[in-house]
Amino acid sequence: MKPDRENIKVLVVDEDPEMRMFLATVLSSGGFMPVITENGAEGLRRAAEEKPAIIILDVMMSGRVNFQIYHSFRQDKKLRNIPIIMLSALSRDTVFHFQKYQSPEFGHRVPEPEAFLEKPPEADELLEMVNRLSSGP
């Protein structure tokens, strides 16, 4: 028997309209309730309002790697424990190497995200991660 996921909100933060549509479709087909935003400021606001179970965050918006929004989620006392699936057109190793160069505290004082997917993600892999993270430890 499948768990009831209809009320499990997944916040999507991505500036690419096609990727937002893809992610919303995949999440809906998996029984989740997508909450779609197109930028980091809107994502932070909607996260505070909607209290999602999971956040899917594109770390590379406006053509550059930007961890500022990720750091903002992790520094907010009400949002810091929400699992984050980080998306990027770059590989995980490239993104994290760049971030550690830019911000040495990444991985120490600022924890790494719970999951990472390269764009475009495979629908099955995305749903498996969302299912795993939404069911707790």
Report the pLDDT value the prediction gives residue 3, as an integer from 0 to 100.
47
Report the pLDDT value the prediction gives residue 126, as an integer from 0 to 100.
97
Residue 30 placed within a domain: yes
Residue 36 placed within a domain: yes
Q: State the pTM of this model.
A: 0.85
The domain in which residue 43 lies consists of: 9-132
Residue 1 placed within a domain: no
CATH number for the domain that contains residue 39: 3.40.50.2300
Given the DSSP bridges, would you call strands 60-61 and 115-118 parallel, antiparallel or unpaired?
Answer: unpaired
Residue 137 placed within a domain: no
Residue 4 placed within a domain: no
Residue 25 placed within a domain: yes
Report the pLDDT value the prediction gives residue 28, as an integer from 0 to 100.
95
Report the pLDDT value the prediction gives residue 1, as an integer from 0 to 100.
32
65-124: per-residue pLDDT in tens? 567 888 889 889 999 999 999 998 877 766 666 666 566 555 555 678 899 999 999 999
Single out the residue of 89, 28, 41, 45 nearest to residue 64, CA to CA.
89
Number of domains in the chain: 1
Residue 127 placed within a domain: yes
Better-predicted residue by pLDDT, 87 or 6? 87
Residue 14 placed within a domain: yes
Q: What is the Cα–Cα distance from 40 to 73, expressed in whole angstroms?
A: 10
- Determine the average pLDDT of the residues in 36-53: 94
Better-predicted residue by pLDDT, 63 or 32? 32
Helices (H), ranges, 6-122: 17-29, 40-50, 68-75, 92-102
Using CA atoms of 12, 62, 125, 110 in order, give the dihedral in degrees to the nearest 10: -80
